[in-house]
Chains A and B, each alone.
Chain A
Amino acid sequence: MKDVFSADLRRRLEALAAKYPAKSAALLPALHLVQAEAGFIGPAEEEAVAGLLGVTPLEVREVVTFYTMFRRTPAGRYHLQVCRNVTCSLLGADQILDYLRKKLGLAVGETSADGRFTLTTVECLGECEQAPCLMVNFDHYGNLTENRVDEILRELA
């Protein structure tokens, strides 16, 4: 049977698991590594991670569905997450979100047909002094204006 993981990923997962007093404690960072390679965490990935860390697939599913950063379906190449908490909203987060919706032609939660963009909202990103802010994959952008959003989208193109 073909391994769900590449040889390199499996090696990194095993090294990760060995760093903890109990292998099962490596579950969250392991899922981050898996998601980085596979793009999402499906049933096959869940089962493979479970086998590697000595937990049940159900325990993996519990974790995957609890934490907002884990995805069970693929996202676009660029995942745009706009903060909707108090500080960002009082400095115009709704307008930024509206602008992105129009510009990308996406509703919140949708992925573009070409697979480039996914647009979602997110709770506080810890960048409140640069509100309004958003995160694209792991990169944070603050002090957003419509012009700044245009620039960011051009950089991603």
Chain B
Amino acid sequence: MFTSRMIGFPSMGRRSPFAEMERMAKQMDLLSRAIFGRPEMRPFAAKVFPAINLTEDNEKYYVRAELPGISADAINLEVTGRNLAISGERVIPSEGENARYHRREREAGRFSRMIGLPGDVDAESVAAKLVDGLLTISIAKAASARPRQIAVN
């Protein structure tokens, strides 16, 4: 009965000496999540339109961007050295004078962005396709930039 009363007490009872530290770390965690977890507080990763996802596998780099409402011929792609330049314009056609808008959230305008790729690429073999508003660019890595397997004797 002596021990059962003491276990609930913060600084008493048989606990590891780090319990106090763990409790403070957990509170700090909750606090930082409350401040930094909210969407408006997260730092923007991209400052230039369009936002891209750059991924790679052993052979190629893949760049994907969401470009709804833009046709393939309105996009300009250039590869120079390790830089990929994407530019173009989105045009939203006007819907006539009779249209009374309830909401207008989509935006139109020009965009232009230069993306630096992490390694050397083969500028001759770049393929791009635009399907359902998603642009996927696959760029082959230069032979020197591909990982090479080394056999261990």
Binding partners A and B = no
**B binding-site residues for A, Cβ under 8 Å:** none
